[in-house]
Homo-oligomer: A and B are copies of this chain.
Amino acid sequence: MAVKSVIEAVREAMREEMRRDERVFVMGEDVGWRGGVFLATQGFIEEFGEARVIDTPLAEASIMGIALGASFRGLHPIAEVEFADFVWPTVNQLIGEAARVCYGTDGKLNAPMTIRIPYGGGIRGGLYHSQSVEAYFFHTPGLKVVAPATPYDAKGLLKASIRDNNPVVFLEHKKTYRLVRGEVPEDDYVLPIGRAEVKRAGSSITLVSYGLMLHYCLEAAEQLAAEGVAQVEVVDLRTLRPLDTATVLESVKKTGKLLIVHEDNITGGVGSEIAALAADAAFDYLDAPITRLCGPDVPTMPFAQTLEDAYMPNTHKIAEALRTLAAY
């Protein structure tokens, strides 16, 4: 199998789906001749033409509304929000409208659209190019929310998202784009939305994460194994909504201890829901307080290197939290 980066996997998924299905098209700022600011659509306009690769005006609300309207006509738009930080103008259409198409029409109409959103930090993006926005969509019934960590998952899940008959918010961590590489099959494959994966089996602590942080979690887990402190089971959520509660709870019931890691702000983040689920459905199995290691409650990470480093959870901090939990 060829080794590819996350951005290559994303590009391949879209290209294959556009070749496979005429109803699929991409739209967004700079997706045309520029090939996207992260080059996710590089070469697309040359292959598919201006009609299916639409450089939109700089107007995010309309990108979402127009994608939604096109989906009403049976198309499968892939709308790109250039950076997660600019998603706000879209939410009237995304949270207010797209999420309710099926419910609000008693199942008569649906919105088969994919919204690709590069998110996250650690790239010196400062307050307006680093944000994690998953919690907002995670809380919204009617949306699906996917957040892969590896090239393999990114490709399989993006293809699934494009084929899905619902609005899928597809979150791509910007720092993983070129940093994370892995094997990706050449042939067509699709991964199911809504399934977490145990990326590392273990028995003493359950560590739940997604996106960039998953890789730091795996590193920390290796570290603790090497130190002989704990065998950490690492669960990659992959899909945030619908959440694969079964996989999480099964792991927690086995280990009795739970650490949740995400880069997003801690209060009201996805981690709070994981904790709440476990504190209810796995209560009798818990041997220690449910702990979270997440971004602090400041408006995403600042620009200066020192400040960004201070914000970001990392392998070292995760290992520390695991040690505390192991010792409990």
Identify the A interface with B (CB < 8 A): 61, 85, 88-89, 91-92, 95-96, 99-100, 103-104, 127-128, 135-136, 138-142, 241, 243, 265, 267-273, 275-276, 278-281, 283-284, 286, 288-292, 297-299
Contact = CB atoms under 8 A, between A and B. Distances in A.
Contacts of A88: 91-92, 95-96
B268 A299 contact: no
Contacts of A284: 289
A142 B290 CA distance: 26
A4 to B, nearest CB: 32
Contact of A127 (B104, B139, B278, B291): B104
Given A275-B275, A298-B103, A269 B96 contact: no
Contacts of A290: 276, 279-280, 283
A301 B138 CA distance: 18
A267 to B, nearest CB: 6
A85 B142 CA distance: 16
A275 B289 CA distance: 12
Contacts of A280: 275, 289-292
A255 to B, nearest CB: 15
Given A275-B279, A276-B292, A292-B276, A139 B103 contact: no
Contacts of A92: 88-89
B299 A141 contact: yes
Nearest to A102: B299
Contacts of A275: 272, 275-276, 279-280
A141 B265 CA distance: 8
Contacts of A281: 289
Contacts of A128: 96
Contacts of A96: 85, 88, 128
Nearest to A267: B273
